[in-house]
Structure 1
Amino acid sequence: MQWTLEVVQVPVADVDRAKAFYAEQLGFAVDFDVRADEEHRFVQLTPPGSGCSIQLAAGYFDDMVPGSLRGLVLVVPDIRAARAELVERGVDNGGVVVTEDGTSFRPARDGDALDNVGFVHFSDPDGNQWSLQQISSRGPATHDLAATRVLDAPLEEAWKAWTEPEYVMRWWGPTGFTSPLAEMDVREGGTSLVCMRAPAEYGGQDMYNTWTYQEVRAPERLEFVLDFTDADRALLPDEAIPPGVPRAVRHVVTLRPAEGGRTELTVREFGYGTPDARDISRAGLEQCLDKMEALFRRTAD
């Protein structure tokens, strides 16, 4: 059984004013405008390319407060072009913003990845709130992960765990693994090389990764892509990468001051193709962060 959402009611105080906004300013197509009598009327409009329409009504839904609708989303392939069209049409908006945690937004910068996380927010004359969201293509669902720790270190000291070799080598790698090398080049466009060495019972081999940085905002945020390489930074063949793990794993690291001079650390990883691959990676990350916690706990003692 297929269930298709066809119409959403948008509560407005003045149907003519709202119709003019949606049709003339936003460019929605007017499907029909029906007046049953002096008190009852409804107008249906459809966004360009949409399979779902909106209705503006008078006399039918008196319990819906005008301007109370929230969370309506229009999907566009290019958020910057869509925002430019809003400006051209005279629609007030907050500009292009991106979200990193699903709850807060910041202004988009050149070079930001915008798919799924790029938005423009605006309201109709009654205050009903809309968002444009960029989704340029709909690929297969991915599985992401996040882990959080509170470190016994101030923000500037915790930042060193991600930027200075002597710190990175003390926590990189899950339980039982060591890190004999960390060549750090922490700047936007820079690439670090890190190595983890397996314990003897697991073969003792060295495994290399590069971290290539898209954003470096000391001491609060790092965004980088982790690749699988050899000691010379050459990419490993695809078949050498574990099943379900992306060719390049996007990481976002955020640090925030916490009570008592400590630091809240959150690490997010994106793009795993299967729940199993995500869960294995989560387990490894958790063990790395356990080592990082212990590093600062010993320093604090």
Structure 2
Amino acid sequence: MQWTLEVVQVPVSDVERAKAFYADRVGFTVDLDVASDAEHRFVQLTPPGSGCSIQLSTGYHDDLVPGSLRGLVLVVPDVHAAHAHLAAGGVATSGVVVSEDGETFRPAREGDALDNVGFVHFADPDGNRWSVQQISSRAGVTHDLTVTRLLEAPVEQAWKAWTEPEYVMRWWGPTGFTSPLAELDVREGGTSLVCMRAPAEYGGQDMYNTWTYRTVVPHERLEFALDFTDADRAPLDDASIPPGVPRAVRHVVTLRPVDGGRTELTVQEFGYGTAEARDVSRAGLEQCLDKMESLFRDGWAPPAG
């Protein structure tokens, strides 16, 4: 007989606050949010790739003490990427730590072998404690990337680089490429269409992507899936997508104000099947962000009217 663990109850004092933490900051997917009346509500969320979900509830398990849960473990193939993801979501963590005896932890050092012994610890707003453990051999490894830039613009203006067509068309595409079109629908559940045009020496063809938004927090955070399409938004066949690149590339964009009216921009991409595919994407992203940096450094603004 096969037994599968499907749901773990996480006791919280404020379901709405906890839902925002796990969905918006940690990145769990909201499966259900059901309220039968004013006193009874449960929210089910699932960590990406997990076969087990968590439930947050009020009115159902009043004997559970909020914040009392310990020993929850998430497994990831790359604990450094997990740490970067949590940090970008504003989650306070232990940093990447190593346990050599199963009881005590020290900060990870460059060159440490992290499989099975590398962790990141964090807690939710009620104090329920989680550990993130690196075990890369249990499942296929994915290769993720994180790029951070300092923009010479306040967050309100930096937000426009991702949400207004005139800005997107100035930076979308690597060096030598142009962007003749950006049809933006920046809202949760909305889908934008963007186009990059190759230079003549590379064939001059137009390449289209859609960005479908899961999270939109103005001036703070965007989460979207980038897919490969034609001009009519029809998905390309899988054979047209470069090897090692997922069907839909999950992106997380965060903006943080810093001194001097500037903005720290962090862009994360997830799910590449090979290091080579990740590195090609990183190179393209770096060149796009070079153009974005220049945009604000040079004080560009869209034409009036």
Name the structure 2 match of 1:146.
Answer: 146
Q: Structure 1: how far apart are the matches of 2:68 and 2:148? A: 31
The structure-2 alpha-carbon separation of the partners of 1:245 and 1:295, relative to structure 1 and needing over 3 Å to count, comes to same
Name the structure 2 match of 1:297.
Answer: 297
Alpha-carbon deviation of 1:90? 2.9
Contact 1:79/1:120 (8 A) holds in 2: no
Q: Which moved more, 1:187-196 or 1:291-300?
A: 291-300
Contact 1:153/1:300 (8 A) holds in 2: no
Alpha-carbon deviation of 1:79? 4.0
**Which residue identity is paired with 2:258?**
A
Q: Structure 2: how far apart are the matches of 1:141 and 1:94? A: 33
Name the structure 2 match of 1:102.
Answer: 86
Secondary structure, aligned partner of 1:101? helix
Alpha-carbon deviation of 1:273? 0.4
Contact 1:121/1:132 (8 A) holds in 2: no
Q: Structure 1: how far apart are the matches of 2:300 and 2:200? A: 31
Q: Structure 1: how far apart are the matches of 2:68 and 2:230? A: 45
Q: Deviations over 1:254-299 (max 9, x none)?
A: 0010111011100000000000000000000000000000011111
Name the structure 1 match of 2:280.
Answer: 280
Task: State yes or no: 1:220 paired with 2:204.
Answer: no
Structure 1 gaps, min length 5: 1-75, 107-116
Q: Deviations over 1:129-174 (max 9, x none)?
A: 842779xxx6411000011111111110110000000000000000
Task: State yes or no: 1:131 paired with 2:105.
Answer: no
Q: How do residues 34-53 of structure 1 correspond to structure 2 at under 5 angstroms?
A: none
**Which residue identity is paired with 1:243?**
P
The structure-2 alpha-carbon separation of the partners of 1:151 and 1:88, relative to structure 1 and needing over 3 Å to count, comes to same
Alpha-carbon deviation of 1:91? 4.2
The structure-2 alpha-carbon separation of the partners of 1:261 and 1:300, relative to structure 1 and needing over 3 Å to count, comes to farther
Secondary structure, aligned partner of 2:271? strand
Task: State yes or no: 1:90 paired with 2:64.
Answer: yes
Alpha-carbon deviation of 1:80? 1.7
Q: Deviations over 1:66-109 (max 9, x none)?
A: xxxxxxxxxx843424989x95663432799x987334439xxx
The structure-2 alpha-carbon separation of the partners of 1:172 and 1:132, relative to structure 1 and needing over 3 Å to count, comes to same
With the length of structure 1 as denominator, give the TM-score of the two structures: 0.61
Q: Structure 1: how far apart are the matches of 2:218 and 2:55? A: 31
Contact 1:153/1:262 (8 A) holds in 2: yes
Q: How do residues 17-36 of structure 1 correspond to structure 2 at under 5 angstroms?
A: none
Contact 1:122/1:131 (8 A) holds in 2: no
Secondary structure, aligned partner of 1:257? strand
Q: Deviations over 1:8-42 (max 9, x none)?
A: xxxxxxxxxxxxxxxxxxxxxxxxxxxxxxxxxxx
RMSD: 3.7
Size of the aligned set, in residue pairs, is 209
Q: Structure 1: how far apart are the matches of 2:237 and 2:55? A: 37
Q: Deviations over 1:189-242 (max 9, x none)?
A: 000000000000000000000000001110111000000000000000000000
Secondary structure, aligned partner of 2:187? coil
Q: Structure 2: how far apart are the matches of 1:130 and 1:122? A: 10
Q: Structure 2: how far apart are the matches of 1:288 and 1:223? A: 18
Q: Structure 1: how far apart are the matches of 2:206 and 2:147? A: 25
Contact 2:152/2:263 (8 A) holds in 1: yes
Name the structure 1 match of 2:34.
Answer: none
Name the structure 1 match of 2:200.
Answer: 200
Contact 1:151/1:158 (8 A) holds in 2: yes
Name the structure 1 match of 2:54.
Answer: 80
Q: Structure 1: how far apart are the matches of 2:84 and 2:221? A: 11
The structure-2 alpha-carbon separation of the partners of 1:93 and 1:79, relative to structure 1 and needing over 3 Å to count, comes to farther
Q: How do residues 168-187 of structure 1 correspond to structure 2 at under 5 angstroms?
A: 168-187=168-187
Q: How do residues 243-262 of structure 1 correspond to structure 2 at under 5 angstroms?
A: 243-262=243-262
**Which residue identity is paired with 1:268?**
Q
Secondary structure, aligned partner of 1:102? helix
Q: Structure 1: how far apart are the matches of 2:269 and 2:222? A: 12
Q: Structure 1: how far apart are the matches of 2:57 and 2:163? A: 37
Contact 1:94/1:120 (8 A) holds in 2: no
The structure-2 alpha-carbon separation of the partners of 1:120 and 1:153, relative to structure 1 and needing over 3 Å to count, comes to closer
The structure-2 alpha-carbon separation of the partners of 1:286 and 1:177, relative to structure 1 and needing over 3 Å to count, comes to same
Divergent runs of 4+, >6 A: none
Contact 2:85/2:268 (8 A) holds in 1: no
The structure-2 alpha-carbon separation of the partners of 1:132 and 1:298, relative to structure 1 and needing over 3 Å to count, comes to closer
Secondary structure, aligned partner of 2:54? helix
